Amino acid sequence: MQIGINIKNVHSYLKNKLDELKNDANVNVIYQKDMKSLRNIDVLITTSITLEELESANRLKIIFLPYTGVNHLPLEEINKKNIQIVNSHAHAPIVALKAFSLGLALLGRVVELHEQLKKGKWHGIDGTSTWSSIAHKRCGVIGMGEIGKHLLGYLKPFQIEITTLKRYQGKCTAIENVIYYDSIEKVCQNSDIIFISLPLTKETKNIIDFNILSKMHQQYIVNVGRGALIDEEALYNALKNKTLKGAALDVWYQYPKNGDTYPSKYPFHELDNLILSPHCAGNEKNSRQNVYDEMLDNIKRFINNGKLKHIVDVKNEY
């Protein structure tokens, strides 16, 4: 079996694990520099795949992604070739922690007060400028997969109330005090801070729209899902006009290709009620190992004709 790795800088932990696998099983590992096409590849570890690459991939059975989101892949064409996509959920605890940390920083005005004090401007000491504790707050959680569940665990010591969607009933066991609503609009209106960790699909694109964002004068949003879950223009205007109180965004609308890139065509970087985070929620120091452990376990399952974990439902796009 040929395992191809279409990643530039392969982490030494993954390399070592694949070396171990080669010794144990009838496996050959081909790295990017030796891979001219996907013609002979059975199993591909990659972060993306182009239509051109896909064309030659006649033996390819599985694509393993070292993260969760699949919205950037040519799903239809992958499906047509009967290739399965397996993604990773091992990042969930740390993505949830990034969301939680950003939420505390937002309510606590950590970034804003830091920037001011860097200039010698003191806020707070005179009592004119205060921050908010997350304790006893209504925390909206939109997305109750692994990330949402871990987030609930971190929020638990703060006697918060969870507001979320009816369809997550039964998934919020970590917190006693949960209120369910039948629409995202109602969750947003009835929360102090909203954490978003949905996958991006045709259904969820721009699911937070102008209508919702125009009524959140007292509310904050933390987004660790995908940028396009929130309407780009409406979000910028809502933050600028303070119809949305503040936000912390780890996911964006424009990503760097070569060199510096602002994260949106709108000047989000000029706003003072926003914390910018460079899509790093999954990039925790020690968590790569968890992702690779999960992946190797899955590859071994494939070799032994076992049942794979975390197969992406291509129709539902997650």
- The answer to whether the CB of 5 falls within 8 A of the CB of 32 is yes
Instruction: Tell me how far, at minimum, the Cβ of 109 lies from a second copy, in Å.
Output: 8
| 16 forms part of the interface with a second copy (CB under 8 A) | no
Closest Cα partner for 224 from 186, 198, 263, 253? 198
| 285 forms part of the interface with a second copy (CB under 8 A) | yes
**Token pair for residue 38?**
């996907």
| Contacting range for a second copy; rule: CB under 8 A; set: 57-65, 80-88, 151-159, 198-206 | 151-159
Tell me whether residue 23 or residue 128 sits nearer to a second copy (CB atom).
128
Strand, helix or coil for residue 248: strand
| 311 forms part of the interface with a second copy (CB under 8 A) | no
Q: One-letter amino acid identity for 224?
A: V
Tokens 């982490």, residue?
Answer: 11
Residues 98-117 that bind a second copy (CB under 8 A): 98, 100-102, 104-105, 108-111, 113-117
| 256 forms part of the interface with a second copy (CB under 8 A) | yes
Tell me whether residue 80 or residue 136 sits nearer to a second copy (CB atom).
136
- The answer to whether the CB of 268 falls within 8 A of the CB of 236 is yes
**Token pair for residue 247?**
């936000």
Instruction: Tell me how far, at minimum, the Cβ of 304 lies from a second copy, in Å.
Output: 30
CA 149-150-151 angle, to 5 degrees, is 90
Instruction: Tell me how far, at minimum, the Cβ of 126 lies from a second copy, in Å.
Output: 8
| 6 forms part of the interface with a second copy (CB under 8 A) | no
Instruction: Tell me how far, at minimum, the Cβ of 298 lies from a second copy, in Å.
Output: 21
Q: One-letter amino acid identity for 163?
A: T
Contacts of 260 (CB under 8 A, 6+ apart): none
Tell me whether residue 184 or residue 281 sits nearer to a second copy (CB atom).
281
Among 284, 293, 303, 308, binds a second copy (CB under 8 A): 284
CA 202-203-208 angle, to 5 degrees, is 110
Among 28, 48, 80, 135, binds a second copy (CB under 8 A): 135
